[in-house]
Amino acid sequence: MTAFAGVSPRHSRRPRLANCVPRLGHRLVVLQITRVTPFLVDTGGSKSWLFVKLDTDDGLVGWGEAYTQQDRDAAMLAHLVEMGRHLVGRGPFAIKHFSSVMYLDYALRRPAMEFWSALSALEQAMWDIAGKACGQPVYNLLGGPCRARIRVYANGWSEQSRTPDQYAQRACEVVARGFTALKFDPFSNPWRTHIGRAEEDLAVERVRAVREAVGSSVEILIEVHRRLAPNEAIRIAGRLEQFQPFWYEEPIDPEDMAGLAEVRRRTSLPVVTGEALYSKAQFAQVFAQRAADILNPDVCNCGGILALKEIASAAGQHAAGLGLHSEFLDHRVLCQLGVARE
């Protein structure tokens, strides 16, 4: 667990309206961020959690979460510390400005995943303060809700399964809990570009077993974790089509947009990408090349809540579906529900 406090930068004595919030009696109250505190939490699993807390001089606090990856969490924490220094002494409402300055002046237009993860956490925390200061849930500040219910799928349920029968048994257990959609990776580690015929056959049999166990009324979502070459992704998709998966997630390296577009053209399965894309510019390339049917961005690494909203809006303009990515039932779920309700 790491904590730090930065030094307030020079600023004008006259408060900027962007830092103010109206209170009872129409009095403008100036808010400033006074402390940025990150928390790196050991979960006991392969990934840590990385949270950040923003304190203000008015007593309001905001929380955010960064995406982490095994053996890279220390680098993400370092970005969070360095970028957080630029918030101390500034107002929590200048969200767009802060994101822009971090991209242009801190990252110098060449950001990596660590940058986007840290920015996402800080941006979420700023929105959290903004909502509390206004006495409103963040989704009301983004335009208000459009739906009262959001469908979810079960994930992570198959991690201890090995044989097709074990996959089928666990799938039935999850359906019995009320889930109507199940996501799982039928392939075995390690994640490599090429797999053998025996591994491919086993993956197909695992999918077959799950489909036969849960029937046709339950959706199955196939996760591939970016492990296949385009030609293998196309061949395996052809073998899986008989089981009518709801989607085919990240079949190949997501940076190979041309290859992903080719996979999409050569299969009837809806192709998904997004959790490993970190900027609106990358998502724009997905639209330009018609590389995916469904996007699954993650609010903890795409730039935060406002960036996620803008990606979602662009997806709607390009007739693409949206299935927001999340690994755990943690802070990010609350952030993504705020956008998903629109």
Look at residue 198 in the predicted model and tell me its pLDDT: 94
Q: Is the pTM of this model over 0.85?
A: yes
The mean predicted confidence, pLDDT, of the chain is 89
Whether residue 281 contacts residue 302, with contact meaning beta carbons closer than 8 Å, is answered with no
What are 164's two structure tokens?
A: 């097709």
Domain end position, chosen among 110, 141, 172: 141
pLDDT at 109 > cutoff 60:
yes
Domain hosting 82: range is 17-141
pLDDT at 335 > cutoff 70:
no
pLDDT at 111 > cutoff 70:
yes
Q: Does some domain include residue 12?
A: no
Scanning 148-256, the segments in alpha helix (DSSP H) are: 164-176, 197-214, 230-240
Q: Does some domain include residue 78?
A: yes
Confidence of residue 342 (pLDDT cuts 50, 70, 90): low
d(CA 233, CA 227): 9
The predicted-structure confidence for 61-80, as pLDDT tens digits, reads as follows 999 999 999 889 999 999 99
- The Cβ of residue 244 has, within 10 Å, a number of other Cβ atoms equal to 12
Q: Does some domain include residue 159?
A: no
The predicted-structure confidence for 150-171, as pLDDT tens digits, reads as follows 889 999 999 899 999 999 999 9
206 and 63, same structural domain?
no
182 and 327, same structural domain?
yes
Pairing outcome for strands 181-184 and 61-66: unpaired
Name 342's bridge partners.
none
311 and 202, same structural domain?
yes
278 and 188, same structural domain?
yes
Which residue, 186, 166, 82, 80, is CA-closest to 123?
A: 80
d(CA 275, CA 237): 20
d(CA 288, CA 47): 34
Question: CA 80 → CA 11, 54, 129, 261, distances in Å?
Answer: 22, 12, 18, 34
197 and 126, same structural domain?
no
130 and 192, same structural domain?
no
d(CA 307, CA 302): 7
Q: Is 26 left (phi over 0), alpha (psi -120 to 50) or beta?
A: left
129 and 214, same structural domain?
no
Confidence of residue 318 (pLDDT cuts 50, 70, 90): very high
CATH number at residue 275: 3.20.20.120
Q: Can you tell me whether residue 185 is helix, strand or coil?
A: coil
Active site residues: 225, 325
d(CA 240, CA 64): 38
- The number of domains in the chain is 2
Domain end position, chosen among 126, 141, 156: 141
What are 316's two structure tokens?
A: 């709607």
The predicted-structure confidence for 255-292, as pLDDT tens digits, reads as follows 999 999 999 999 999 999 999 999 999 999 999 999 99
